[in-house]
Amino acid sequence: MLDMRLIRENPELVKQGLANKYDTSDLDKIVTLDEKRREIIRQVEKLKGQRNKASAEIAQKKKAGESADEAIAAMRQVGQDIAALDDDLREIDQELQTAMSWLPNLPHDDVPVGKDESANRFVREWGEKPQKDFKVLPHWEIGESLGILDLEAAARLSGSGFYFLKGLGARLERALYNYMLDMHVADGFLECSVPVMVTTETLFGTGQLPKLAEDMYKTERDDLYLIPTAEVSLTNVYRGEIIDHTMLPMYMVAYTPCFRREAGAAGKDTRGMIRVHQFTKVELVKIVRPEKSLEELESLLTQAEKVLQGLKLPYRVMVLATGDLSFASAKTYDLELYAAGVDRYLEISSVSTFDDFQARRMNCRFRDADGKIHFPYTLNGSGLALARLIPAILENYQNADGSVTIPDVLRPYMGGADKIG
């Protein structure tokens, strides 16, 4: 949620930010609603003041045994006026709230302005693309031939867009998330195991709702959504609370399945594990003091990079253009992992800062040392997505004989195995 005060006092700045994000919300309407809202509040509170005064007098008279009939009769109309104004206010509040809830976060000044991913800016790269003297098979082929990935079985069970790992394939997934969790925990992240079904309010808090309703799975009977990312469960942990400043910064990590309908992505990446409805991911979330958020963003990026460096997988860092930023994000780095079989870069991590946008939606605040209350800043980053990591390993670590070498750091997690096949 954006700060209404900022919109009121500096609408042009907000408009420019929205324009850079290619958002078409009607800000003038919001400004008008806000003015109307405050006008009604002024009126109704004046009346309520009168009523409170009169009520006290009525109470006095009754206590003294005098008749208060006249005063009561006089207040009847005031009561009705208040009720009518309260109705108006409720309506306007609702309208304003709805309009506000659709406003995306504003991008930072240093985010490149551009319509889509073609405007994303290269930041740096790490590692070498693997040089192979044979044709590297895409992960769905090598996975099938090694008997560790059974996409047919997944389709039998759930239709398209799912994967079924077995044997060392499933073991590889387990090795990866144990490796990542151990690394992040060692680096100070609090390990969490969290609900993957959450309420509307929770999804509103991180900004998935109302805009992305179509992209998520919902259990209609119970009104719960399956999380598209553990960001949702972790970030909302203190929704509606005022926490103490000594609890900041909070670093959290969770391994969960993630569920995405991929409603708008029909026909894209239909083969293999690259774009599926259910995948697992290790997610990192930080809740920090506002003034620390920029350095925390950089260190979160570094944390995600550390996983890829440990696995010796080549990647590049991109900073997303304004038009490619997610609804809630103020600045996002993407980590793109080169996969030799599909011969392209795969987005494997998205590291973002949300400033106070999510904290406002969650109404999560912290009490500072001086007693003042502020919104903390929230950040998150994948650390990392398993359904992209596994293909990359199957492709980049592929050998001419059709086997796949297991990265050194994973071997202790693989029962000592050094290759698959």
* Active-site residue set: 260, 275, 347, 350, 388
Contacts 24+ apart (CB under 8 A), 80-89: 81/47, 82/44, 82/47, 82/48, 82/51, 85/40, 85/43, 85/44, 85/47, 86/44, 88/40, 89/37, 89/40, 89/41, 89/44
Question: What's the Rg (C-alpha) of the chain?
Answer: 27
Give the 3-state secondary structure of residue 212.
Answer: coil
Considering the complex, state which of residue 79 and residue 412 has its C-beta at the smaller distance from RNA.
Answer: 79
Q: Does 197 bind RNA (CB under 7 A)?
A: no
Q: Is 55 in the site for RNA (CB under 7 A)?
A: yes
Of 123 and 373, which has the nearer Cβ to RNA? 373
CA distance linking residue 265 with residue 308, whole number of Å: 27
Rounded to the nearest 5°, which phi and psi values hold at 380? -155, 160
Distance of CA 310 to the CA centre of its chain: 26
Which amino acid is present at 247?
M
Q: What angle do CA 289, 347, 406 make, to 5 degrees?
A: 105
**Inter-axis angle of helices 27-64 and 69-101, to 10 degrees?**
160
Report 149-188 residues binding RNA (CB under 7 A).
Answer: none
Instruction: Indicate which single residue of 373, 400, 408, 418 sits in contact with RNA (rule: CB under 7 A).
Output: 373
The least distance separating RNA from the CB of residue 46, rounded to whole angstroms, comes to 7
DSSP 251: E
* 3-state percent breakdown (helix, strand, coil) of the chain, nearest 5: 45, 20, 35
Cβ distance to RNA smaller for residue 222 or 401: 222
Give, as ranges, the residues between 351 and 370 that touch RNA (CB under 7 A).
365, 367
> Of residues 57-76, which lie at the interface with RNA (CB under 7 A)?
58-59, 62, 72, 75-76
Q: Which stretch binds RNA (CB under 7 A): 34-42, 173-181, 245-253, 292-300?
A: 34-42
Which of 10, 52, 145, 193 binds RNA (CB under 7 A)? It is 52
Least Å distance between CB 367 and RNA?
A: 7
55 vs 403, beta carbon nearer RNA: 55
Question: Which of the residues 236 through 275 are near RNA (CB under 7 A)?
Answer: 242
Binding of RNA by 53 (CB under 7 A): yes
**What whole-number distance in Å separates Cα of residue 255 and Cα of residue 382?**
10
Q: C-beta of 369: minimal distance to RNA in Å? A: 10
Q: Which residues bind RNA (CB under 7 A)?
A: 4, 38, 41-42, 45-46, 48-49, 51-56, 58-59, 62, 72, 75-76, 78-79, 82, 90, 242, 365, 367, 371, 373
